[in-house]
Structure 1
Amino acid sequence: MISITQFLSDVIAGEPDIYVITFTLVVVMVVFLFLSFPMIVPLAIGALIGLIHFSQVDPQVLIQQMVTGISPNALIAVPMFILAADIMTRGHTAHNLLGLIQAFVGHLRGGLPITTCISCTLFGSVSGSTQATVVSVGQIMRPKLLQAGYKDSFVMALIINASDIAFLIPPSIGLILYGTLANASVGELFIAGIGPGLVLALLFSLSSYRYSVKHSDSLSLVEKASTAEKMAAIKKAMLPMGFPALIIGGIYSGIVTPTEAASFAVLYAIIIESVIYRKLTLSDICDAALNTGLITAVVFVLVGVGQAFSWYISFEQIPQALLAPLNLEHASPEYILFVIAVAFFVGCMFVDSLVVLLILTPIFMPIIEAAGLDPVLVGVMVTLQMAIGSATPPFGCDIFTAIAIFEKPYMEVIKGTLPFFLILLLMSALLIYFPGIALMPRDLLF
């Protein structure tokens, strides 16, 4: 280690010591974050200062890396899936999917929270967005759960955490971005995310059933649907169920790529909501397109800047220096997966999950390749941690989405999250020790 005096003199002199560079990057990023700049600015300024001050490399390289970051064809699917999710959130898709599930299980003990879990899974296979799932499923199911006697803290925690399933079930924006960064097949990642997503839905459903049995005295049951009502629910849900069939079935069969499936999903959503249901007007679709453009612009700028920052830290070999004390080169695959899970989980607790993905993926990729770990398995693990972070205090985005739509204070929204958080940690452990949950479907199809 170097002395503090030598350390500061090296910073001033621009000596390219790896600890000096790392310290400078951290300080610059922390200062800009405390000044309330969006995360894009600290990433860009940190890389620019490091490149000019320490490396004496032409700053135009960063521009080239930004363009490279948003060049992969797989990223075309991102705005398409965002637009399809926005159109379906504005329309009848969520209502019809929830109606189908409630018609068959809503009358059972714990039927309403189980309906919520399954609905989050199905809507996740349609939207791929945790926040869209919180809004769509939450606005419909929360009043029904409260009317049945469930505590609001349990209801909000269930909706926030069950929405995590949407990040694993394709089409997942997180899986697309990871596949782009890690040069992994997005199609394989989509298929590998289905198993963990279904297991997580099962674990949440079992927990909901246990809670319902424990508090059965204060809870009321929903009237059982008649055969006619069940058939009507099936009829209404037939068209929305075409979304997962189109996306998953199309990729399964090899008929379409994930990018082509995203384009077809948009067309399908417009036909269903505007032509068949006649729920949305041309003005509504234009509003959805505008909203998609704004979100996509933010995501793509973040991806481009993240690529430039990732290139710089790789150029300086900062990942190797940071990971060297952990001795991961000779560690077991389980230990490496554990370290990756902890790093992403802690990062996503405090910073937007996409930022964590952009920063940490290039750091761990050399270790993943050297250890021979399947990048698809790592991608599912990373995406799971991103999902957990989106629902975990202090800065989970789904928490703030719930605060906005439920109009409840922060502490009340997070009050009941602990049991679901433990289930998510259990799912992480299952992925580490039983990777076949994710890899078996992938191996069967690819």
Structure 2
Amino acid sequence: MSVILVGFLLLLLLGVPVVFVLGVSAVMALLTTTQVPVVIVTQRIFAGLDSFTLMAIPFFVFAGIVMDAGGISTRIVNFATALVGWITGSLLLVSCVAAAGLAAISGSGSADTAAISSIMQPQLRRRRYDVDFGAAVIACAGALAQVIPPSLTMVIIAVISNLSIGALFLAGVVPGLLCIVAIMVSAYVFARRGGPQYREIESFTVGRLLRTGYEALPAFGMPLLILGGILGGAFTPTEAAAVSGLYGVLVGLFVYRELKFKALPQLILRAASLSAAVMLIIGTASVFAWLIANDNVPALLGNWISHVASGPVMFLIIVNVLFLIIGMFMETIAAILIVVPVLTPLAGHFHIDPIHFALIVVLNCAVGTVTPPYGISLFVASSVANRTVLQVANRLWMPLAAMVAVLLLVTFVPELSLALPRMAGLLK
């Protein structure tokens, strides 16, 4: 066990991509400390990917790419501008609302962050906003694509924990909206303390709101189609993902008419490339997780937490601290595949609802994507803004504190995440 941990930490500190960190450290452990043949690596990778539900990932990725290429991002930003563009710090608030809208379409935090950054950063510079704070706000808001359904992270955690994807999707609605509101409040407070460039001179008009809302209706039809279809029993989550991809193509081609047939092969290749990267991480992480389980680490960690945690409150505090630390150094999917199978049985021991526990993990993962040094959403927002990660991280504390506050609220008020699934009859 020491070999795999040393190899894992060493490769991680050297900056090796996480997929190779997981695979190489697993092979090192097999070659040096066990009698298990190395061929088990390929078998475990195949077993980790042999799931019909995981096919939802490439379909959701394709749907998000198609909807972005078809002009969806622009329509959502226009609607967000009409909705909150008249408030102090309007560009920051528009970024948050637009990120929430895109999150309900793509399910990818890095994709949402890139899309919003590319649209909003030129405007932030033109209006002389604090670009670093703007990038920090966009990174935090974009990361919430993991919380607001449909979420690729939720699909993965539901698969490995044997949970209802529909119930987990519904559980993320209220916490996701609370996070967006909290980030908007932090942005408003910052803007109120800023200079005259944050004061908005454009007035609110109902006509503009109705016009932009009407133009954005096809975009908002996708989350309704996905959630309605799953909860209504019309199709499985995987089938819902495929339908959403078809819906995105039809909207881009025939409604907005910004998507061209000749662009589809390139978009399909891009979706395949992104999906392959995710799937490869899932496969190698399953090998790593199998080795950890084979060395009885879950039982050891479980015994330690059982002795330290005197009750569910202390257990949840430990879980939050653990994931906040892990999120600083490890990619989301790998963290979920390695840690969640260890902690889920303990959550059951403390009588914590599995949907509530899974939602806490998802929120922690969202926070992890914006915490330095390895937060992917932070990297994306910084690169698009042409700023260093350190410059943006110096302005990160206000929106990040807002996310952590909502995380703690959801942790200790379970009904915030369980009320909607219970109302839909997915929980007792």
TM over 0.5: yes
Matches for 1:109-188 after TM superposition, within 5 Å: 109-188=88-167
Distance 2:256 2:389 in 1: 37
Does the aligned pair in 1 maintain the 2:133–2:392 contact within 8 Å?
Answer: no
Deviation beyond 6 Å, 4+ runs, structure 1: none
Does the aligned pair in 1 maintain the 2:110–2:143 contact within 8 Å?
Answer: no
2:180 alignment partner, SS class: helix
Matches for 1:268-283 after TM superposition, within 5 Å: 268-283=247-262
1:343 correspondence with 2:307: no
Where does residue 309 of structure 1 map in the other structure? 288
Report how far residue 35 of structure 1 moved. 5.6
Structure 2, unaligned stretches of length 5 or more?
A: none
Q: Which of 350, 365, 383 is the matching residue for 2:362? A: 383
User: What letter matches 1:397 in structure 2?
Assistant: I
Report how far residue 149 of structure 1 moved. 4.3
Change (3 A) 1:328 1:183: farther
Report how far residue 392 of structure 1 moved. 1.1
Where does residue 374 of structure 1 map in the other structure? 353
1:99 correspondence with 2:99: no
Report how far residue 434 of structure 1 moved. 0.5
Report how far residue 123 of structure 1 moved. 0.8
Report how far residue 202 of structure 1 moved. 1.4
User: What letter matches 1:184 in structure 2?
Assistant: L
Does the aligned pair in 2 maintain the 1:329–1:370 contact within 8 Å?
Answer: no
Does the aligned pair in 2 maintain the 1:125–1:169 contact within 8 Å?
Answer: yes
Distance 2:18 2:197 in 1: 46
Where does residue 240 of structure 2 map in the other structure? 261
Where does residue 206 of structure 1 map in the other structure? 185
Report how far residue 226 of structure 1 moved. 4.0
Q: Which of 297, 307, 310 is the matching residue for 2:276? A: 297
Residues 61-117 of structure 1, C-alpha deviations (whole Å, 9 max, x = no match):
443322221112211110011111111222310111111121132112343322221
Distance 1:411 1:35 in 2: 19
Where does residue 45 of structure 2 map in the other structure? 66
Distance 1:251 1:197 in 2: 19
Query: 27-36 or 425-434: which moved more?
Result: 27-36
Distance 2:22 2:72 in 1: 38
Give TM-score, length-normalised by structure 1: 0.89
Q: Which of 354, 373, 381 is the matching residue for 1:402? A: 381
Query: 404-413 or 431-440: which moved more?
Result: 404-413
Report how far residue 26 of structure 1 moved. 1.2
Tell me the percent identity: 26
Distance 1:214 1:37 in 2: 41
1:441 correspondence with 2:420: yes
Where does residue 251 of structure 1 map in the other structure? 230
Change (3 A) 1:283 1:374: same
1:44 alignment partner, SS class: helix
Does the aligned pair in 2 maintain the 1:187–1:257 contact within 8 Å?
Answer: no
Matches for 1:355-366 after TM superposition, within 5 Å: 355-366=334-345
Structure 1, unaligned stretches of length 5 or more?
A: 1-20
Where does residue 3 of structure 1 map in the other structure? none
Report how far residue 292 of structure 1 moved. 1.2
Report how far residue 418 of structure 1 moved. 0.6
Report how far residue 241 of structure 1 moved. 1.3
Distance 2:228 2:185 in 1: 28
Q: Which of 390, 397, 400 is the matching residue for 1:421? A: 400
